[in-house]
Homo-oligomer: A and B are copies of this chain.
Amino acid sequence: MIRVAILGATGYTARELLELLLRHPEVEVTALGTRQEDRPHLANVHPALRGRIDLCLENLSPAEVAERADCVFGCLPHGASAEVIAELLDNDCRVIDFSADYRLNDPDVYEKWYQVKHPDPKRMGKTAYGLPELFRDQIRGADLVANPGCYPTAAILALAPLLRAGKVNPQGIVIDAKSGVTGAGRSPKAHLHFPEINENLMPYGVGTHRHTPEIDQILSTWAEVETNVVFTPHLIPMDRGELITAYADVTPGTTENQLRETLQEFYKDEPFVRIVDHLPGTKDVAHTNFCDVTVRVVGSKAVIIGAIDNLIKGASGAAVQNFNVVYGFKETMALL
């Protein structure tokens, strides 16, 4: 049994993670961290989990966490996350980090997009990027896995194989993304107040969203040339689900079938990527760790569509998948 702790246990990703881990036969959840002081019981923080596990959330130091857990899932905000993680690693914990802190390789890029100095620059670029479909070898046995952002997950899974195969042009890629509201976290904000979101649809962060450099970093690696995607997210009046509609110029002479076959071949042994013929909706993957992908050619453009559940394949499911890869468990454990 692996003893597991979750830091930042009040949020939606932590709740989803707990639901998955409670079904995992090799996991014992031993600690729940929070920066609050009042030690609330989990049942009061997440009423849905009442009766499932008898733990309180505690304000624990990294050393205290390391005593109780072999592996830590970090659901802390960027900046705060790296500080704690460095100490956990020094105490021989393994860490799967939901924050953005160890996703980017370049401290300057991090500082530009996140407006803070990185607290642990020496580890940047040396961590495993937690997308097993692309980086399984690096994840296996890793001490620290940077769990990907939700948008990057869908965008990279949809585009990387086509770029690697030279089937689409790495320049001029547009990624029009749409997400449910849980992706924005659990803190109440004016623009996330129910009547502001419900029956509404709006773009946000056009040209400024922090997932942009993350997408470019990975796609550039796979394209073997620098990409500069135009990334436009939109908020959709629903809880969960994320769909990216990517537009890229097709390499002349390439057909829709060839694009589909490239994707099918690439993912043929993957348990969680389904290349489909129909146009997928987010509900096809809701509450699952699947990413459904399809492709169409319209005029000279490939239109590639990827759908995930932002809380599962886009966060907590991916984390459990990474956990399974790190420890050598069956990759689908607790996920199917």
Contact = CB atoms under 8 A, between A and B. Distances in A.
Interface stretch (A31-39, A47-55, A79-87): A47-55
Contacts of A181: 194-195, 198
A282 interface: yes
A188 B188 contact: yes
B186 A195 contact: yes
Given A274-B51, A336-B52, A234 B178 contact: yes
A47 B198 contact: no
Contact of A237 (B22, B238, B285, B287): B238
A282 to B, nearest CB: 5
A107 interface: no
The complex is assembled from copies of this chain, and their number is 4
The contact size tier of chain A is 35 or more
Contact of A245 (B50, B176, B195, B297): B176
Interface stretch (A69-77, A113-121, A130-138, A298-306): A298-306
Among A172, A238, A247, chain B packs the most CB atoms within 10 A around the CB of: A238
A106 interface: no
B48 A283 contact: yes
B278 A230 contact: no
Contacts of A189: 188, 193
A91 interface: no
A336 B202 contact: no
B232 A201 contact: no
Interface in A176-226: 176, 178, 180-182, 186-190, 192-204, 206-207
16 contacts: A51-B271, A174-B301, A178-B234, A181-B195, A188-B189, A188-B192, A192-B193, A193-B194, A199-B240, A200-B282, A200-B283, A201-B281, A202-B282, A207-B298, A230-B247, A230-B298
